[in-house]
């Protein structure tokens, strides 16, 4: 029987549509306390929802709530991602974000 490798990622390296379970917080005591109070605890299910227009903060869904978190804080959250998560490259998502941002600018008439 073939064993599938475990797929650990920093929350900041995930892309929209990725989901999984938090396994570790690599934050200092004060930052860890704040993140735990927001629901970022080992064992909690989390899904990456979207990037802000300029890539920071990111929006995640955790414990039934949508929360925006800074990328530097997301660097300290280690997630075991689901094996069934659709694999997309970062460049595809970056390109999509750029296109969405350009479309919003065009819609406002700033170009």
Spatial separation of the C-alpha atoms in residues 5 and 26, rounded to whole Å: 22
Per-residue pLDDT at 89 exceeds 70: no
Copy the structure tokens of residue 20.
């999984």
Q: Average pLDDT for residues 106-111, to the nearest whole number?
A: 53
- pLDDT tens profile 1-32: 555 557 999 999 999 999 999 999 999 999 99
Across the chain, mean pLDDT equals 80
Percent of the chain with pLDDT over 90: 61
> Which domains does the chain possess?
8-108 (2.30.30.90)
Instruction: Give the least confident one: 21-30, 35-44, 101-110.
Output: 101-110
């Amino acid at each position: 029987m073939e064993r599938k490798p475990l797929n650990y990622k920093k929350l900041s390296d995930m892309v929209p549509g990725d989901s999984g379970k938090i396994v570790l917080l690599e934050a200092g005591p004060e930052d860890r306390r704040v993140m735990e109070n927001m629901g970022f605890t080992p064992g909690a299910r989390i899904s990456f929802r979207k990037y802000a227009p300029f890539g920071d903060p990111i929006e995640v869904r955790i414990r039934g709530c949508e929360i925006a978190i800074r990328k530097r804080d997301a660097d300290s959250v280690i997630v075991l991602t689901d094996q069934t998560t659709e694999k997309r490259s970062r460049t595809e998502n970056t390109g999509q974000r750029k296109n969405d941002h350009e479309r919003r600018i065009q819609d406002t008439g700033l170009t």
